[in-house]
């Protein structure tokens, strides 16, 4: 889904808010202090909205482990959320997400740049000025040309297939430009200008008021042209951040040590507490959890939470549970209700589905309260800045549905005894099958009969549930769906699933059911609004309008159970990372 | 003897060629028969944001549009003469023997395999010593004390060893002897130190995987040895040896055990060769970065060149192990003469 989301997002540009980066926390920032408060008392969710075990004590080794491996350590070539969190330890972008707990962590602050970008009046040109005293790990100064070169090389998708494409798609590159390797010596000043060593100017093809969110992405981390080895650069990325590579064995792990040329005076965002960072990759996932619990490693770098085996050990044990945090992610598991399929073209029939659905069953299908998620009543997860949860279709005091209301609406839509329709889900996903079965049982209570229709996930959107003619012909009234945001922003979360213009008759869109012209206009309006705070009411209005039309049945906002080993300091979860903020961490 | 070795070496090379063809067909022909297009096969190498155009270009660059025989020829040429790949500002060399090039990690496979081999070899050699000593020793004692309590108890434990899979015994051993509980004395998973860096630490980190792996194999060897010894000790030449006044220890070790060892050597050769090719479950359970874990990770990531590389290397080890076993027959059993 992510792949499709990104591709579509690239076309429509504007997405670019937030993502997964932030830097030094105001609560822990600064390099001078060497104080460590007594270890804080561990309790469940202690690091969810505040700093757990705050400290400015430097030194020690922090140990990360990964049950998989990075797509790439090259800033131009990585697209995992955890990688965007981690990369800030050895790379600095023009801007970054503030390293702070909770909602404060979703704000963008300057990093390499002295300030946030200065837009032109039409929001098509953005200018940044670099700080003084910036250096690479080899002591050579970082200039605006190094940033421009880094962005230019990231457009070569054959060499760097994994990275985000926002800057490739939104900047005004020369026609046919394929990056500095293939389009050697081609002047790309139509996209990026560097009038001097401190200034960098970006030229967009269309207005975008949220460019600072793009500027915090890893492709703006500087790369010295003389040290660029193309696809092999991942083996030794030249550091611009507080740590640099000492050793890198791809497939096994790597070690970071302090970068002697990183000057804390140029970096108010990173406390850089540990002396050394060791990372082990491709570790057995269950072994990793057990080692976390025994204190042998400090952080599961993937940040997606412990495995079911560890969960069954942690949740019944109050001492272990006190060492966990259970953040709600910016991901919604939901079911699309298609108004193009009769009788769901009638809004009352759709509302009957919303009232009859058993939300607790939905939650159980995804794994329950801790690993499955929080019952969702609307679209935007609570951690999206400005999101205001609401509930237009209360499902009763126990969350199992309001059958009386459902029958009322069935009568209003002329189907007092219910109706029959189909529900699509991805065959390879047991949780989606369980969801479809839970809905089948709960809707049957009011006479709505669902027939389960599994489809292969690889073609789910392109050939089946996301292809409008197929949906109508095969009466796919309901389709189990899901969506996650790359960045903590209403536009990034809502646009691909509620803007009707992303729906293609040939298939491929995650938006299966939302066609509301009023919503489309609200998105256009948001692109011209420079103030992020003023954009927030627009996202809530869109969310409410979609729910009023009853074309989406929200299921759960996903959650993860993160283990917080003893001995870690400055532990917190920021809304931008949705996992522990790696820039702030230290060890006792 | 020399002729025999040369003949076996030629046979080994032919065997490896057949294995390489079969492996190549499995990874490149079967997907095409199943309907995979060159672009579809290339798409896994061009990342999550790739357009159809990028996948098409990658298919051309990777040569997936060429006839299969051409692709195989290119692979064999790489093994013999090396290959080159053009990425970014420079050309990436994959020196001979180029067993493939991972387009996901952008690295030649062979150096990766050589980097992992010491881990797997360390695991296999330590476990082999334990299981041979324990398995053969218990087997001999059981045979000599047939029907005793020791015999029954040993064979019961052996049955358990054969029956319990590594992913169970491995996890239980970690839970009981590692992971910071009161009985912990062994290293947790994921720790490996080279022998040259610190022999003591090397052994400490590997003792749990050694014992776990040896438990599985020792059981088989104990049962094999017991059966072999029971049969051998009833042979006429054993009676003759006793009749001519040899001591019982000499009769058992020099005449009895030597005769019973032949099938054990055969099985050991195969087992050890296979293990060197990758102790998949053990390395996964203990997060050891050896060839087995490498293979599992490659399969998970659908990194076919890596899977092919590790398959071929495993085949090489099995073939070599078989060759050594055949040569050892002559040493162990005087009745065998190589011709």
The domain that holds A460 is classified in CATH as: 3.10.105.10
Give the Å distances, CA to CA, from A135 to A113, A256, A261, A580: 13, 17, 6, 28
**B180 contact residues in A (CB cutoff 8 A):** 293-296
Could you say which DSSP state residue A296 is in? S
Report yes or no: B35 at the A interface, CB cutoff 8 Å. no
Structure tokens at A411: 């009568």
Whether the upstream peptide bond of residue B91 has omega within 30° of 0, thus cis, is no
Instruction: Report which of A452, A238, A450 is spatially closest to residue A344, judged by C-alpha positions.
Output: A450
Q: Are the C-beta atoms of residues A349 and A533 closer than 8 Å to each other? A: no
Cα of B70 to nearest chain A Cα, Å? 24
For residue A166, the chain B residue with the least C-alpha distance is B49
Report yes or no: A10 at the B interface, CB cutoff 8 Å. yes
Could you list the mean pLDDT of each consecutive 10-residue stretch along chain A, which spans 588 residues?
37 34 33 51 92 95 94 92 95 97 93 96 94 97 98 90 86 94 94 98 90 94 96 95 96 96 97 97 91 93 88 92 94 96 97 97 91 94 91 94 96 96 90 94 97 84 88 96 86 90 81 95 85 90 97 96 93 93 96
Which member of B48, B88, B179 has the closest CB to residue A181?
A: B88
Q: Could you identify the residue written with the tokens 């002396």?
A: A275
Tell me if the pTM is above 0.90.
Answer: no
Distance CA A531, CA A535 (A): 7
Which member of A164, A228, A294 has the closest CB to residue B179?
A: A294
Q: How many CA atoms lie within 13 A of B12 on its CB side?
A: 19
Neighbours of B271 (CB within 10 A): 20
Report yes or no: A294 at the B interface, CB cutoff 8 Å. yes
Distance CA B208, CA B188 (A): 9
Cβ contact A290–B297 (<8 Å): no
Where is B208: in which H helix or E strand?
helix B199-232
Neighbours of A175 (CB within 10 A): 5
Report yes or no: B71 at the A interface, CB cutoff 8 Å. no
Where is A373: in which H helix or E strand?
strand A373-375
What pLDDT score does A443 carry?
A: 97
Distance CA A76, CA A577 (A): 19
In a domain, A368, yes or no: yes
Report yes or no: A232 at the B interface, CB cutoff 8 Å. yes
Distance CA A464, CA A289 (A): 38
Cβ contact A230–B294 (<8 Å): no
Report yes or no: B300 at the A interface, CB cutoff 8 Å. yes
- 3-class SS of residue A566: coil
Q: Could you identify the residue written with the tokens 């297939």?
A: A161
Q: Could you identify the residue written with the tokens 């590159």?
A: A173
Give the Å distances, CA to CA, from B91 to A23, A26, A177, A181, A210: 36, 45, 21, 12, 39
Distance CA A40, CA B160 (A): 47
Instruction: Report which of A483, A484, A490, A486 is spatially closest to residue A385, judged by C-alpha positions.
Output: A490
For residue A165, the chain B residue with the least C-alpha distance is B49
Which member of A160, A165, A291 has the closest CB to residue B189?
A: A291
**B171 contact residues in A (CB cutoff 8 A):** 286
In a domain, A134, yes or no: no
Residue of B51, B88, B110, B296 for testing the chain A interface, max A β-carbons within 10 Å: B88
For residue B285, the chain A residue with the least C-alpha distance is A284
What's the alpha-carbon Rg for chain B, to the nearest Å?
Answer: 24
Q: How many CA atoms lie within 13 A of B243 on its CB side?
A: 6
In a domain, A427, yes or no: yes
Instruction: Report which of A280, A172, A273, A179 is spatially closest to residue A233, judged by C-alpha positions.
Output: A179
What pLDDT score does B47 carry?
A: 58
Helices then strands, counting H and E runs in chain B, come out as 15, 4
State the total domains in chain A.
1
Q: Are the C-beta atoms of residues B313 and B99 closer than 8 Å to each other? A: yes
Distance CA B28, CA B25 (A): 5
Of the spans A529-533, B92-96, B123-127, which averages the highest pLDDT?
A: B123-127
Q: Are the C-beta atoms of residues A143 and A137 closer than 8 Å to each other? A: no
**B284 contact residues in A (CB cutoff 8 A):** 284
Would you list the domain boundaries of chain B? 2-94, 109-338
Distance CA B31, CA B41 (A): 8
Distance CA B288, CA B281 (A): 10
In a domain, A549, yes or no: yes
In a domain, A411, yes or no: yes
Q: Are the C-beta atoms of residues A588 and A567 closer than 8 Å to each other? A: yes
Q: Are the C-beta atoms of residues A552 and A30 closer than 8 Å to each other? A: no
Query: What long-range pairs does A307-316 form, CB within 8 A, spacing at least 24?
Result: A308/A367, A308/A371, A310/A286, A310/A563, A311/A370, A311/A371, A311/A561, A314/A561, A314/A563, A315/A370
Question: Is a pLDDT exceeding 50 seen at residue B35?
Answer: yes
Cβ contact B189–A181 (<8 Å): no
Domain B109-338, CATH class in plain words: mainly alpha
Q: Could you identify the residue written with the tokens 């309907």?
A: B35
Which residue segment(s) compose the domain that A538 sits in?
328-559
Structure tokens at A423: 């529900």
Q: Could you identify the residue written with the tokens 């060492």?
A: A323
The alpha carbon of residue A167 and the mean position of all alpha carbons in its chain are separated, in whole angstroms, by: 17
Distance CA A361, CA A343 (A): 25
- 3-class SS of residue A225: helix
Q: Are the C-beta atoms of residues B74 and B308 closer than 8 Å to each other? A: no
What pLDDT score does B337 carry?
A: 60
Gap between the terminal Cα atoms of chain B:
6
Crossing angle, helix A490-498 and helix A517-527, to 10 degrees?
A: 150
Find all residues with CB under 8 Å of A205, minimum gap 6, and list them. A13, A124, A170, A171, A172
In a domain, A395, yes or no: yes
Q: Model confidence at B46, in pLDDT bands (50, 70, 90)?
A: low
| Exposed e or buried b per residue across A467-482, where buried means at least 16 C-beta atoms within 10 angstroms of its C-beta | bbeebeebebbbbbbb
H helix intervals, B46-108: 52-62, 68-81
Residue A108 dihedral angles phi and psi, to the nearest 5°:
-90, 135
pLDDT of A223-275, one tens digit each?
999 999 998 999 999 999 999 999 999 989 999 999 999 999 999 999 999 99
Q: Could you identify the residue written with the tokens 């209700």?
A: A337
Structure tokens at A579: 């996992």
Cβ contact A231–B88 (<8 Å): yes
Cβ-in-10-Å burial (0-12, 13-18, 19+) of B10 comes to: exposed
Question: What was the ipTM of the complex prediction?
Answer: 0.81
In a domain, A493, yes or no: yes
For residue A286, the chain B residue with the least C-alpha distance is B285
Structure tokens at A13: 């540009």
DSSP string, A168-227: HHHB-PPTT---TTTSTT---TTTEEEEETTEEEEEBSS--TTHHHHHTSGGGS---GGG
What is chain B's mean pLDDT, rounded? 86
Question: Is a pLDDT exceeding 60 seen at residue B105?
Answer: yes
Cβ contact A158–B57 (<8 Å): yes
Q: Are the C-beta atoms of residues A128 and A199 closer than 8 Å to each other? A: yes
Give the Å distances, CA to CA, from B141 to A172, A276, A573, B281: 81, 53, 61, 30
Report yes or no: B283 at the A interface, CB cutoff 8 Å. no
Which member of A6, A69, A291 has the closest CB to residue B48?
A: A6
H helix intervals, A315-358: 318-321, 347-356
Instruction: Report which of A512, A513, A542 is spatially closest to residue A525, judged by C-alpha positions.
Output: A542
**A149 contact residues in B (CB cutoff 8 A):** none
């Amino acid at each position: 889904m992510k792949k499709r989301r990104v591709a579509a997002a690239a076309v429509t540009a504007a997405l670019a808010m937030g993502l997964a980066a932030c830097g030094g926390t105001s609560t822990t920032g600064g390099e001078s202090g060497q104080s460590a408060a007594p270890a804080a008392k561990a309790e469940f969710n202690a690091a969810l909205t505040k700093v757990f075990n705050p400290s400015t004590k430097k030194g020690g080794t922090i140990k990360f482990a990964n049950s998989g491996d990075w797509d790439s350590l090259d800033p131009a070539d990585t697209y995992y959320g955890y990688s965007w969190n981690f990369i800030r330890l050895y790379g600095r972008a023009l801007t970054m997400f503030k390293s702070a707990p909770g909602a404060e962590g979703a704000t963008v602050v300057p990093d390499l740049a002295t300030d946030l970008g200065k837009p032109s009046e039409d929001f098509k040109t953005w200018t940044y000025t670099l700080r003084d005293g910036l250096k690479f790990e080899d002591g050579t100064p970082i200039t605006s040309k190094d940033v421009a070169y880094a962005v230019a090389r990231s457009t070569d998708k054959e060499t760097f297939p994994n990275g985000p494409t926002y800057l490739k798609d939104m900047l005004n590159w020369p026609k046919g430009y394929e990056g500095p390797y293939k389009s050697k010596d081609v002047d790309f000043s139509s996209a990026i200008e560097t009038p001097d060593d401190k200034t960098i100017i970006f030229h967009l093809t269309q207005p975008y008021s949220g460019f600072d969110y793009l500027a915090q992405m890893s492709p703006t981390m500087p790369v010295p042209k003389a040290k660029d080895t193309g696809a092999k650069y991942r083996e030794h990325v030249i550091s611009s951040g507080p740590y640099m590579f000492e050793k890198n064995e791809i497939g096994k792990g790597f070690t970071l040590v302090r970068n002697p040329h990183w000057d804390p005076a140029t970096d108010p965002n990173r406390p850089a507490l540990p002396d050394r960072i060791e990372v082990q990759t491709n570790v057995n996932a269950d072994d990793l959890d057990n080692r976390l619990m025994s204190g042998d490693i400090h952080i599961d770098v993937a940040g997606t939470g412990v495995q079911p085996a560890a969960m069954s050990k942690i949740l019944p044990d109050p001492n272990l549970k006190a060492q966990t945090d259970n953040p709600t992610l910016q991901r919604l598991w939901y079911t699309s209700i298609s108004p193009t399929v009769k009788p769901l073209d009638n809004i009352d029939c759709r509302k009957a589905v919303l009232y009859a659905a058993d939300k607790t069953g939905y939650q159980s299908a995804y794994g329950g309260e801790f690993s499955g998620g929080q019952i969702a009543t609307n679209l935007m997860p609570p951690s999206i800045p400005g999101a205001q949860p609401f509930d237009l279709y209360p499902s009763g005091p126990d969350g199992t549905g309001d059958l009386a209301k459902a029958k009322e609406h069935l009568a209003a839509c002329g189907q007092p005894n219910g109706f029959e329709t189909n529900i699509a889900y991805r065959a390879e996903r047991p949780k989606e099958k369980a969801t479809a079965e839970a809905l089948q049982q709960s809707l049957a209570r009011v006479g709505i009969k669902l027939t389960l229709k599994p489809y292969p996930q690889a073609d789910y959107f392109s050939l089946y549930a996301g292809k409008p003619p197929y949906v109508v012909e095969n009466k796919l009234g309901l389709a189990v769906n899901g969506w996650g945001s790359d960045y903590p922003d209403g536009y990034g979360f809502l646009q691909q699933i509620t803007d009707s213009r992303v729906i293609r008759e040939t298939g491929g869109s995650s938006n299966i059911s939302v066609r509301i012209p009023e919503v489309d206009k609200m998105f256009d309006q948001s692109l011209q609004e420079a103030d992020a705070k003023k954009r927030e009411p627009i996202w809530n209005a869109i969310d409410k309008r979609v729910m009023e039309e009853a074309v989406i049945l929200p299921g759960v906002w996903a959650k993860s159970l993160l283990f917080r080993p003893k001995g870690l300091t400055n532990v917190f979860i920021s809304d931008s990372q949705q996992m522990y903020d790696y820039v702030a961490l230290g060890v006792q | 003897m020399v002729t025999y070795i040369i003949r076996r070496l030629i046979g080994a090379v032919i065997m490896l060629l057949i294995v390489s063809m079969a492996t190549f067909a499995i990874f490149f022909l079967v997907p095409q028969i199943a309907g995979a297009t060159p672009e579809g096969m290339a798409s896994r190498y061009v990342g999550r944001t790739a357009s159809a155009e990028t996948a098409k270009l990658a298919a051309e660059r990777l040569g997936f549009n060429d006839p299969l025989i051409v692709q195989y020829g290119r692979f064999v040429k790489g093994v013999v003469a090396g290959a080159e790949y053009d990425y970014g500002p420079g050309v990436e060399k994959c020196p001979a023997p180029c067993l493939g090039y991972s387009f996901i990690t952008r690295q030649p496979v062979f150096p990766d395999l050589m980097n992992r081999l010491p881990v797997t070899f360390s695991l296999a050699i330590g476990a082999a010593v334990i299981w041979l000593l324990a398995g053969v020793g218990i087997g001999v004692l059981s045979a000599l004390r047939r029907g005793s309590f020791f015999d029954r108890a040993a064979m019961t434990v052996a049955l358990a060893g054969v029956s319990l899979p590594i992913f169970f015994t491995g996890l239980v051993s970690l839970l009981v002897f590692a992971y910071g509980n009161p009985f912990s004395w062994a290293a947790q998973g994921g720790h490996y130190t080279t022998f040259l860096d610190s022999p003591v630490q090397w052994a400490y980190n590997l003792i749990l995987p050694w014992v776990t792996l040896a438990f599985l194999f020792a059981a088989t060897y104990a049962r094999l040895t017991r059966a072999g010894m029971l049969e051998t000790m009833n042979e006429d030449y054993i009676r003759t040896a006793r009749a001519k006044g040899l001591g019982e220890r000499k009769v058992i070790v020099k005449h009895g055990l030597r005769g019973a060892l032949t099938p054990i050597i055969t099985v050991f050769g195969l087992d050890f060769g296979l293990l060197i090719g990758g102790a998949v479950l053990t390395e996964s359970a203990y997060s050891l970065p050896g060839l087995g874990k490498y293979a599992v990770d490659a399969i998970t990531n659908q990194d076919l060149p890596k899977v092919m590389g590790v398959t071929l290397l495993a085949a090489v080890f099995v073939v070599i192990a078989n060759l050594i076993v055949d040569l050892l027959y002559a040493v162990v059993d005087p009745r065998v003469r190589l011709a």
